Structure 1
């Protein structure tokens, strides 16, 4: 039996669309706080709120965006989100106060939340069921590559000190994402087989219940991961490795890129438990090594293990979230998953800021390496004890479709 095609035109387009969306996001995560401090005379707290307000807007809009994908289809909702994202990208030139910038950030977050929800739904629909783990892994890789490319472009633009260049790059990334989105064909999904009463009841759904449990698990790990995403450069300076801090996420992304073909196929072949449990251990070991870093080698080895551990967990959890839903509800499943996941990132960033007043980042990473292991019990309780859930769902879908 021949393998179902994964690298279709639609899959490539939606993956690259997602890549440019997240490059713009991480680009602004790095540049906006500095811009607010230097150009808008804002405080450090106000600079932090520019990031938080964006995430809050995205979290609030995603459940509604997921509902809209059912009513109007993923492609139309994606276009609306991308168009709003582009319009808001061009507004960054205007604000002269932090408050004005925060309003732009709120609107931009709405566009981002809508676009990423619909994009995730499209990706879930165009990936063959038998290669869902592999496909969602490659799709999530765009998110991880953006973690490297966005800050790299942002720091480069900041050094130039040119406002036009600074925000022009955001507009360019947003425009590319919109053009790519327009090239997609209609991917609304097949018609629902639900009864009319069930359809009427689901009219008011804004949450995909089947995705909540795995999203809570992902949110737990996101709380811990947020300390790496936001504070590794600060930690590198503390331990005298600032000169190699930029290589942390380069190694992180390289390991994910090299491991993705294997981990995705293993997920489809052996089920999620065979991937999740080892990945949690690798994540924990990586955090422990990070806390013990006293040389470049240990620091970058920690990056590699965290990339292999967390970098495998995130797409696996995302795959589980969409695996059991019908195509027209995939957008709702993605919105549920990402909303709860982003909440974890937001809570984590807030908690880390508080904890840092009581202990060093080195101590935080040390204790976090053991807290990560508690995730084994949480995952097992909420999902893992249903052995072979993903494999069973794949088999069930293929049986019904043919």
Structure 2
């Protein structure tokens, strides 16, 4: 059965939960579990094993993101030349190998080098897997499908840090590395079992395959919603980076950990229903309320003096940003031409990575001037600007109603 046949019922009604879609969801869960577990644990591992300072140890975590970003620059262009499943298999084999090699690193430099390679494998696998899913699900249920697909990574966001803390505390570092190796095997096995849509590049694409222009890195049709995501993601990064110290300053020691549990719960909740609403009632029906909730959560964090306010902000922020990210992704790939789906996908992720990278730097400069309250209010202003940008680049021209099949 071909991938096209696999995603249709015999009566031609659009079917979402096919074996191949299940395989993609399981693969995303495994890959995301490795990502979030190592991001949580790697700085501590660098300090404990190699004795580096905390500021330097953070690069053991962030170098993974750098590796992913480097690969995404070219993976969109060459995705269909390599083949989606072939790239997935190559990337996941390297991904698994990196998990197994962590205990063999001999100094901090080798650890950072391995993290770069691991991130590159993650970037290649993520681009190929997401592009495959966008083509795999019926167009009429695209937002719903991408939302469910993203829920797999949301679940790992809650479980990964817990696994890192418990396994390292009870059994040591090797247990963490065996755990992520198992998650990598799960992802690789799922991809081996799945059938993923492929696209044959045109003769014109073959003729210019060795040329790399700006349009081969960033898709002009997908870029406007991706720029909206860049603004929103910078606000999200400010929350993640500074929340612990902000709440500690206010004497709310336990509130930060509870916030992220609430955040993950809100994110999982929205990804289970928002996509279906976007497909049936149009982009603006979900995007505008999601932005409003995200901005409200930032304002609540700016003034929070009680734990329940922090928890409420976590739920609202998870619903807001957790829904905005896949919704903008669907908007971007739907605006793009079918033959540029891979580039549109990498455009989305590059802007997401850029927002997460620059947000802490830009807004961190405000803290000595306006404090954490002022910084979170500035994040809320940035969220408001992202709504304005969304309306200008897409919202005012968005068509209401059911997404065509």
Q: Report the TM-score when normalising by structure 2.
A: 0.89
C-alpha change, 1:222 and 1:89, in structure 2 (3 Å) is same
Moved more, 133-142 or 234-243: 234-243
SS of the equivalent of 2:254 reads helix
C-alpha change, 1:198 and 1:96, in structure 2 (3 Å) is closer
For the 8 Å contact 1:67–1:332, the answer to whether it is kept is: yes
Q: What residue in structure 1 maps to residue 286 of structure 2?
A: 275
Q: What residue in structure 2 maps to residue 237 of structure 1?
A: 248
Unaligned runs of 5+ in 2: 1-10
For the 8 Å contact 2:222–2:344, the answer to whether it is kept is: yes
Alignment length (residue pairs): 391
Match of 2:21 among 11, 14, 18: 11
Matched, 1:122 2:135: no
Unaligned runs of 5+ in 1: none
CA distance in 1, matches of 2:97, 2:71: 17
- The Cα shift of 1:253 comes to 2.3
- The Cα shift of 1:387 comes to 2.1
CA distance in 2, matches of 1:203, 1:269: 41
- The Cα shift of 1:352 comes to 4.2
CA distance in 2, matches of 1:141, 1:128: 18
- The Cα shift of 1:275 comes to 1.5
Match of 1:79 among 76, 86, 89: 89
Moved more, 342-351 or 358-367: 358-367
Match of 1:88 among 98, 101, 104: 98
Q: What residue in structure 2 maps to residue 246 of structure 1?
A: 257
Matched, 1:55 2:65: yes
Q: What residue in structure 1 maps to residue 221 of structure 2?
A: 210
CA distance in 1, matches of 2:369, 2:105: 36
Q: What residue in structure 2 maps to residue 285 of structure 1?
A: 296
Matched, 1:372 2:383: yes
Moved more, 208-217 or 281-290: 208-217
- The Cα shift of 1:356 comes to 4.0
CA distance in 2, matches of 1:74, 1:179: 16
Match of 1:314 among 325, 328, 337: 325
C-alpha change, 1:198 and 1:78, in structure 2 (3 Å) is closer
Q: What residue in structure 2 maps to residue 363 of structure 1?
A: 374
Q: What residue in structure 2 maps to residue 335 of structure 1?
A: 346
Q: Deviations over 1:125-167 (max 9, x none)?
A: 1110000111111112223222222212112223226121122
Matched, 1:301 2:306: no
Q: Deviations over 1:323-381 (max 9, x none)?
A: 13455532222112101211111111333444445453343223312321111211122
CA distance in 2, matches of 1:235, 1:22: 28
For the 8 Å contact 1:73–1:187, the answer to whether it is kept is: no
- The Cα shift of 1:179 comes to 1.3
Q: What residue in structure 2 maps to residue 28 of structure 1?
A: 38
C-alpha change, 1:186 and 1:268, in structure 2 (3 Å) is closer
Q: What residue in structure 2 maps to residue 159 of structure 1?
A: 169
For the 8 Å contact 2:72–2:127, the answer to whether it is kept is: yes
- The Cα shift of 1:48 comes to 1.9
Q: What residue in structure 1 maps to residue 8 of structure 2?
A: none
Q: Report the TM-score when normalising by structure 1.
A: 0.90
